Amino acid sequence: MAAVWWLRFRQSDRHFIHELRGREGLAKPGEIRKHTSAGTAVRRAKALRPSLSSPTAPAVGWKVGQAHRQDVYVSIEDSIVVEGAPRSGKGYRFIINAILDWCGPLITTSTRNDNLSATMRERARVGEVTVFDPQELSGVRSSLRISPVTGCEDPLVADQRGQAIVAGTALGASKTNQEWAHVASSVLSRLLHAAAVSGRGADALARWGSNPRLALEAVSVLSNQGTPGWAEDLDAIINGDEKLLASSWFGVSGAIRPLAIPAIRKAMTPGPGEQFDPDQFLTGSNSLYLVGTGAGAGSVGGFLGAVLDDIVETARRKALASPGSRLDLPLALILDEIANMFSWPALPRIMADGGGIGISTIVVLQALSQAETAWSRAEADTIWSAATAKLVLGGASDVDHLRDLESLLGNRRIRNTGHSYNETGSSTNIHDEKVPVMSLDEIRRMPETVGLLAYRTRRGILLDLRGWTDRHDARRVKSGKKATETDQQLVFAEQYQAALDRRRAAGERN
Ligand SMILES: Nc1ncnc2c1ncn2[C@@H]1O[C@H](COP(=O)(O)OP(=O)(O)OP(=O)(O)O)[C@@H](O)[C@H]1O
Ligand SMILES: [Mg+2]
């Protein structure tokens, strides 16, 4: 009986975790205390948050989990990649906690409303909450309207915005299309500029972008009011090489296509006085939820990417103008499901240098290969290597990548004792063998309550990951979530009914 119990236990997750905790080659309690504890995070506070007189660990670090019964913190200077298979607990065990713990401005992306439902009420207690959700996926009624044209009177802003929208839209586009993408973004920049200087908005943009002939109207706007030279540039493209025009206009019309849908266009047409002010946003514990998809009908990824790009650019300038070239109140970017939303060319750079200017980035991926498919191999690699903290959850199945992780964790020595028998008797031989600290298969099999942290120059850390429902304030969070979900259901019900009514009305007309 005991033998059966023992055999079962040996096969269980509990035994596996127990065995991993004592594993040679993973970080020991002393190492955790020294390098990734709350105390270590606070010791860096003087440099990171000079204005705080008595900083706490959450003000200067991200709590990623526990190891050997101690809280594990990485610095807000670190860039983090979280990688875990679908439903492995990235949201439940890390991202929602991170959103709740952050004190400072926060931008978070998602294609769904799971993080939003759990965190919106709590974030509203500490600052203003804004939801930008042109595709109406979140069920939040008071979502903000942001015009893509705002600020484009400045040619520099127009140029950057055009690039961000086209790059964000070219999700999954092969890199061989770079040439037309370049032309497309320069056309779009000129259309944005023309719309801005003539006091028009998304409507004009949608019209001009749909057809080169209609865009001639923008040429005449630009020649009267625009930046010198821009009218001629646009005119030359429209009246230039037909083949290049066709493929680059394909890029332009692809980028502005979502504007053809009335609800989306409305979301990008703010009313009088309805403005999103990035500078104001950066001054408090405000939250911006960007919700949308990068593929499929009405995908607004490019526009969401442009909003993110805009705020980060403002933050970067603000940091330069601040003491120590660092934002006094750091900005967090928690980019969940980003590979399904948009490609953001500035991401590798912000991961590499954001920590130094007070912008802390967390990128969430279901697999590294997801980033390769959505963007490019090189981009995925840069993002992976720019992350000074890599949090890996179980369930991965890409063998090559698992092998990389295995190598990243290094080797350990195990002692093998062998017995051999021959005529003269038996002999025992002992030899040391080098084996991986965690094998590929063990990394894949990690149960959902544990994660693996590869942190800077440290040894791998086996983390215990607790869901947000175990937090000390879980009751309050839960009741906030419930209230948000009740509101969302009402909005979804209204939207559903409206769609039904439209369909019926169309049926009666036919
Ligand atoms: N409130 C909750 N209480 C208990 N368990 C939960 C709760 N929310 C989520 N979980 C558990 O966590 C699992 C993972 O959910 P989570 O949303 O964290 O996945 P994910 O890794 O973010 O997946 P995806 O890549 O699809 O976003 C769920 O299958 C569920 O078992
Ligand atoms: Mg998730």
Q: How many CB atoms neighbour CB 362 within 10 A?
A: 27
Whose alpha carbon is nearest atom 25 of ligand 1?
Answer: 86
Does residue 269 sit within a domain? no
Pick from 243, 264, 285: which residue ends a domain?
264
Does residue 270 sit within a domain? no
| Dist. CA 407 → ligand 2 center (Å) | 27
Residues with CB under 6 A from ligand 1: 84, 86-92, 114, 366, 467, 469
59 and 116 in one domain?
Answer: yes
| Dist. CA 114 → ligand 2 center (Å) | 7
129 and 87 in one domain?
Answer: yes
The parts of the chain modelled with pLDDT lower than 70 are 170-177
Predicted pLDDT at 172: 46
331 and 408 in one domain?
Answer: yes
- What is the torsional sign of CA 8, 12, 16, 22? negative
Predicted pLDDT at 320: 95
439 and 326 in one domain?
Answer: yes
Q: How many CB atoms neighbour CB 308 within 10 A?
A: 26
393 CA: nearest ligand 1 atom: 21
Closest among 389, 368, 257, 319 to 105, alpha carbons compared: 319
The residue to which tokens 């759990």 are assigned: 118
Beta bridge partners of 61: 75
Predicted pLDDT at 170: 65
Residues 6+ apart with CB under 8 A from 264: 134, 135, 258, 298, 300
109 and 232 in one domain?
Answer: no
336 CA: nearest ligand 1 atom: 27
Whose alpha carbon is nearest atom 28 of ligand 1?
Answer: 87
Question: Residue 216 sits in which domain range?
Answer: 155-264
Does residue 282 sit within a domain? yes
481 CA: nearest ligand 1 atom: 1
500 and 388 in one domain?
Answer: no
- Strands (E) across 197-335 are located at 287-291, 331-335
Contacts 24+ apart (CB under 8 A), 41-46: 41/73, 41/74, 41/75, 44/75, 44/77
